[in-house]
A and B are shown apart, each in its own frame.
Chain A
Amino acid sequence: TETIKAVVIDGYPARALWVKEFSNFFIPEVDKKLAETGNFKMDWQESYGGSIVKPKGVLEGVKLGLGDIGIVTTIFHSSKLPSQAISAVTPFVAADSVAVAKAVDEIAKEFPTMQKEFAKQNQVYLATGVVLDTYQVFSKDPITSSKDIEGSKVAGAGMNLRYLEGINGAAGVRGGLTDFYNMLDTGLVDKAMLWPEAAKTFKIAEVAPHMLAVDLGAVNSKTITVNADYWKSLPDEVKTALQDVALMYRDHVAGIAMERAAASRDAYVAAGGTITEASAEDRAAWAAAMPNIAMEWSANLDGKGEPGTDMLKAYLAKLEAAGYTGVRDWTAE
């Protein structure tokens, strides 16, 4: 039996969902597969929580060989990994982690763009992780439609701040997830965009007991990658094992995210929160009022000689096949 050393890195702590499942699911599954033939055995060194890199440093860490395998949080790297924003630029389509994870993963494999972006960072794409079911709007005051967001201050992060461009007079306020409770509590903001599981974790029901279920959608934010030089050095059997398990990990993590989402919604209500479903017209109106950030995204990729438009179409078609049709056709001007 040949032993192969693998250093796994992430800047997030071991208790984070995707990290925990890497330890408890990915690694044992790979070990199990390799044990079938007994030719190879992995010697895992798991370095999480800033012991080698910080959350934003995983991409560079894998690129530079400080880690062999990494869990890259792609939303930090809009400029190096532009195509990863695919689900963030297509809101109001699918509030389903499993469907989005599968669709993004297939786009990564059927089109060369995502892999090329990672190749430029000296790494090989392995799997996509979706860890949240959908962004919703949480509010201090009763909220029944997106009209109630008009003129208010809304806490958000990253691309979802741009969703607010579709709401009259709404001002996005940037903040870290851990600050949202305080921001709402003090009235610094009246509303916040986050997903139910985060709302449960940070006890948002105490300060924003009204949720508008507007289903902005699930977003892919994690990618498992392997350093390219390390990948080349691996025997085929190990490569295959990693790729197979990556597929399982993708569905496994997204599945857990969905389970947690349902439980978190119940917990929100149990903690005194009320949930109002947004009407279809309301969602359509919000989506229609937004700038078409999906087309901005695909045009940007097209401009670089990548098949941006085709990827967008193929992605939405995959979601449609899975039963999710958006309230706005993002491929139309």
Chain B
Amino acid sequence: MVVSAFRKLVMGLSKATNSVAIGANAAGTLVVLGLVGIVNFDVVARGVFNAPFLGAVEVVQFSMVLIVFLQLPDVVRVNRLTRSDGFLVVIGVKYPRFAASLRHVIDSISAVFMALISIAIWPEFVEMLETRDYFGVPGVFTAPWWPIKLVIFLSATLCTLIFLLKVVRPADKPELVRVPEHEDKT
């Protein structure tokens, strides 16, 4: 009873975090498109209309934070965070149980690390929200700090959750290679 209720809870939570991660991922994807747009806008405005967009640098910096931290949870979810798992795969053939527990230990360490980032960033967010600190040049272009800190905080928290759920869920099937989605029209 208790076990199955726990399992249900885990599955439910997994589903929830996964859909948030996928949503954030889609949002981050749109930022990539926005980045292409804004930089081209500046190039054309400057070259053709003699009117450069003076906030281009800040907007680009802002987009980088959004892209990275909106996408990170999904990267964790689909197991594409950089790792070298040859040893895990090899040992998994002979000692599947040991490999599975090793995976759990690794995911737990990762969860702790992401949690530390969340804890470190939270007070920064609060401070930036209170002081309304910005970056850029006043009178030219400025952007507030707090959304950046908030995105990092939320992203790290979501990553923590996803790692934790990886620990309590049965281990994923190990794979040696994650085939990239690059495709050429042949």
- A residues sitting closer than 8 Å to B (CB atoms) are 76, 78-80, 82, 153, 158-159, 161-162, 171-174, 188, 293, 296
Query: Cβ of B137 and Cβ of A161 under 8 Å apart?
Result: yes
Q: Which 4 A-B pairs have the closest CB atoms?
A: A79-B134, A79-B133, A173-B52, A78-B138
- Provide the residues of chain B in CB contact with A79, threshold 8 Å: 131-135, 138, 142
Q: How far is the CB of A79 from chain B (nearest CB, A)?
A: 5
Q: Which of B23-69 contact A (CB under 8 A)?
A: 46-47, 50-52, 54, 56-57
Query: Cβ of B54 and Cβ of A161 under 8 Å apart?
Result: yes
Is B93 interfacial (CB 8 A cutoff)?
no
Q: Known contacts A79-B133, A79-B134, A80-B133: does B52 contact A174 (CB below 8 Å)? A: yes
Q: Which has the most chain B C-beta neighbours within 10 Å: A78, A172, A173, A296?
A: A78
A10 to B154, alpha carbons, bound, how many Å?
31
Q: Which of B120-137 contact A (CB under 8 A)?
A: 131-137
- Provide the residues of chain B in CB contact with A173, threshold 8 Å: 46, 52
Query: Cβ of A174 and Cβ of B57 under 8 Å apart?
Result: yes
Query: Cβ of B140 and Cβ of A161 under 8 Å apart?
Result: yes
- Provide the residues of chain A in CB contact with B133, threshold 8 Å: 79-80
Q: How far is the CB of B129 from chain A (nearest CB, A)?
A: 13
Q: Which of A78, A161, A171 contacts B50 (CB 8 A)?
A: A171
Q: Known contacts A79-B133, A79-B134, A79-B135: does B140 contact A171 (CB below 8 Å)? A: no
Known: A153-B46, A162-B139, A188-B47. 20 other contacts (CB 8 A): A76-B135, A78-B134, A78-B138, A79-B132, A79-B138, A80-B131, A158-B137, A158-B140, A161-B140, A162-B137, A162-B140, A171-B50, A171-B51, A172-B140, A173-B52, A174-B56, A174-B140, A188-B46, A293-B139, A296-B139
A79 to B134, alpha carbons, bound, how many Å?
6
Query: Cβ of A174 and Cβ of B139 under 8 Å apart?
Result: no
Query: Cβ of B54 and Cβ of A78 under 8 Å apart?
Result: no
A158 to B136, alpha carbons, bound, how many Å?
8
Query: Cβ of A171 and Cβ of B134 under 8 Å apart?
Result: no
Q: Could you pull out 8 A-B pairs where Cβ atoms are within 8 angstroms?
A: A79-B134, A79-B142, A161-B137, A171-B50, A171-B51, A174-B54, A174-B57, A188-B47
- Provide the residues of chain B in CB contact with A82, threshold 8 Å: 138
Q: How far is the CB of A300 from chain B (nearest CB, A)?
A: 8
Q: Which has the most chain A C-beta neighbours within 10 Å: B51, B131, B135?
A: B135
Q: Which has the most chain B C-beta neighbours within 10 Å: A153, A161, A174?
A: A174
A80 to B145, alpha carbons, bound, how many Å?
11
Query: Cβ of B136 and Cβ of A172 under 8 Å apart?
Result: no
User: Who on chain A is nearest to B50 by CB?
Assistant: A171
A188 to B136, alpha carbons, bound, how many Å?
22
- Provide the residues of chain B in CB contact with A80, threshold 8 Å: 131, 133
User: Who on chain A is nearest to B47 by CB?
Assistant: A188
- Provide the residues of chain B in CB contact with A162, threshold 8 Å: 137, 139-140
A79 to B142, alpha carbons, bound, how many Å?
9
A162 to B47, alpha carbons, bound, how many Å?
21
Query: Cβ of B134 and Cβ of A159 under 8 Å apart?
Result: no
